[in-house]
């Protein structure tokens, strides 16, 4: 059994990781940290975890390195910088769910996160952990930068066509809507029930930190510089992301050919489902699962040329965070890729 530890286990992503790993056939959770809840039984804080006697403990890295071989980090950005470096230098493997190692440029990181990256040499060693794109690199990596939730839905939606010469790569619009769990468990006024209920609002327009992450990965896949327009929205539900992506086509192509392209691209992927023509993906259908559902539509009336409309949905806490982290662990250690992750979504 692979011994694993979760650093920052009291938040939404940390608790979802714990839920997945407690029943994983190849992993044993040996430590879970929380500064606020240190010393308390996990089962007393999260009542649904009655099958564990683990307690939360403080973030003492020297002690923790003796307890596990793989570390999942659910820590805030900046905090993860030093923690990843310490664990890497101690010979441990790390899957970091923060944004600290996703961007390859320390300058871009500082521009968007307003703090310097103090361990920039490690950025070159970190592998962006999107299994559908970087499976081979993930297998041999020591540091995995787990993708953000918005980028996961956007990149998976665009990846099959971003390298094709029939699209205008200068006109990509990503309109995403997310449930409130994407903001984390820490209380804040904008995410209180009375603020969110019966309301939909855009936020961080032109300034969301996931923008450079999406652009970086699309540029890497297409081998050309990609800029996008990305607008996130907060909607009154617990979890889930729906991204509606608009791409202008440079020449005519049939919807059936585009649909075939998507099917071929994802034909061997266990967690991406390309829906039949005319079907609409729904956040409720993927809730509590590690699936990304994708549909494509073609608007032939949009002035000169055509517009491809891509719908991509995920559970932001699973496929957008903890589920992909477990998927990465499975690849790194040669386990069945679907181990601990095959489950249907919750019924309505």
Active-site residue list: 149
The Cα 85–Cα 330 span in angstroms is: 22
- For the record, the structure tokens of 67 come out as 């307890």
Phi, psi (degrees; rounded to nearest 5) at 270: -70, -20
The Cα 261–Cα 310 span in angstroms is: 13
Q: From its phi and psi, is residue 308 left (phi > 0), alpha (psi between -120 and 50) or beta?
A: beta
Q: Could you tell me which residues come within 8 angstroms of residue 191 by beta carbon, excluding any fewer than 6 positions away?
A: 180, 183, 234
Phi, psi (degrees; rounded to nearest 5) at 18: -60, -40
Strand 201-202, strand 228-234: pairing: antiparallel
């Amino acid at each position: 059994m692979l011994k694993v530890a979760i650093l920052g286990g009291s938040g939404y992503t940390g608790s979802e990781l714990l839920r997945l790993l407690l029943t994983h056939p190849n992993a044993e959770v040996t430590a879970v940290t929380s500064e606020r809840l240190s010393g308390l039984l996990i089962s007393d804080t999260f009542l649904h975890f009655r099958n564990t006697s683990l307690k939360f403990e403080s973030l003492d890295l020297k002690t923790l390195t003796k307890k596990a071989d793989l570390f999942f980090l659910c820590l805030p950005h900046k905090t993860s910088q030093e923690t990843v470096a310490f664990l890497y230098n101690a010979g441990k493997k790390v899957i970091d769910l923060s944004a600290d190692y996703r961007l390859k440029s320390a300058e871009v990181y500082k521009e968007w996160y307003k703090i310097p990256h103090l361990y920039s040499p490690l950025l070159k060693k970190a592998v962006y952990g999107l299994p559908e794109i970087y499976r081979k690199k993930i297998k041999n990596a020591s540091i995995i930068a787990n993708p953000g939730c918005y980028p996961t839905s956007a990149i998976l939606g665009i990846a099959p066509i971003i390298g094709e010469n029939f699209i205008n790569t200068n006109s990509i619009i990503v309109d995403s809507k997310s449930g409130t769990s994407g903001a984390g468990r820490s209380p804040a006024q904008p995410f209180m029930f009375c603020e969110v209920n019966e309301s939909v609002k855009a936020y961080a327009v032109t300034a969301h930190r996931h923008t450079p992450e999406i652009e970086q990965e699309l540029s890497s896949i297409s081998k050309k510089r990609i800029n996008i327009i990305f607008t996130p929205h907060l909607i009154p539900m617990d979890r889930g992301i729906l991204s509606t992506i608009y791409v202008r086509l440079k020449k005519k192509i049939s919807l059936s050919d585009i649909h075939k392209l998507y099917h071929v691209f994802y034909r061997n992927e266990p967690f991406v489902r390309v829906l039949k023509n005319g079907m609409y993906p729904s956040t409720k259908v993927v809730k509590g699962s590690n699936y990304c559902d994708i549909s494509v539509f073609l608007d032939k009336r949009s002035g000169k040329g055509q517009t491809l409309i891509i719908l991509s949905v995920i559970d932001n806490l699973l496929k957008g965070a903890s589920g992909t982290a477990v998927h990465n662990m499975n690849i790194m250690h040669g386990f069945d890729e679907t181990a601990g992750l095959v489950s249907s979504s919750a019924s309505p």
